[in-house]
Amino acid sequence: MSLPEGDWPHKQNVQRKKYTCGYSDCSREVGSDKGWEFHQSSNSQRIAHIYICPVCCRPTFFDSVNQIPGTQLGTNIEHLPKEISQLYSEVRKSTSQGAYTAAVLSCRKLLMHIAVEQGAQSNGSFVDYVDYLVDNHFAPPKSQPWVDRIRQKGNEANHEIKIMVKSDAQEIMTFLEMLLKFIYEFPQKAQSAVLPPGQ
């Protein structure tokens, strides 16, 4: 959602920084020299910054370790049905907060939803759904080792809790992104490419 026309009063010139905007709907690589600096009172050292994104006008905070909101995994995908788009956006936001277990669980939920929508039986396990998507050629030909890892990790019992790390989230999100593009985005784009303007 874009901000209405306006500006931040009293913003200052700060040391220029290149970064990825933390606002989820922007996420652009930007350079900014506008914002505020935090000065430590004991020695006036600058230890934190707030930068204003020149594209979306929203602030991102930095100290020596953190960026808040952080950079999220995944890319924007167009033409998603509303609920899928909402859940995919939540997955991306949780990766920006380092909540990779929550992201992986939501990705699995989305994968199962997509498989059922594409004709899989609705009472299967996560592994059944991944197999269904692979067997029905939704995964590219050379993706077998990578899909096997997703399958293995998803093969845990319902009562188990396994904490996930960034690479786990990256792996399943890449698979999910590919499916979302293949099933929702490309067909719409292809359709609008062949229709004359206005239809």
Q: Which residues bind Zn ion (CB under 5 A)?
A: 21, 23, 26, 53, 55-56
- Which neighbouring-strand residues pair with 139? none
- Closest CB to Zn ion among 23 and 129? 23
Query: How is the beta sheet containing 67-68 ordered, strand by strand?
Result: 12-20, 29-39, 46-52, 59-62, 67-68
User: Residue 155 Cβ, how far from Zn ion at the closest point, in Å?
Assistant: 39
- Closest CB to Zn ion among 60 and 106? 60
User: Residue 27 Cβ, how far from Zn ion at the closest point, in Å?
Assistant: 7
- Closest CB to Zn ion among 26 and 178? 26
Count the Cβ atoms, other than its own, within 10 Å of residue 150.
25
User: Residue 37 Cβ, how far from Zn ion at the closest point, in Å?
Assistant: 19
User: Residue 23 Cβ, how far from Zn ion at the closest point, in Å?
Assistant: 5
Pairing of strands 59-62, 46-52: antiparallel
- Closest CB to Zn ion among 21 and 120? 21
Count the Cβ atoms, other than its own, within 10 Å of residue 81.
10
- Closest CB to Zn ion among 19 and 146? 19
Measured CA to CA in angstroms, residue 176 lies from 28, 37, 42, 112, 171 at distances of: 21, 39, 49, 10, 9
Whole-angstrom Cα Rg for the chain: 21
How far, in Å, CA of 37 to CA of 178, rounded? 40
Residue type at 4? P
User: Residue 53 Cβ, how far from Zn ion at the closest point, in Å?
Assistant: 3
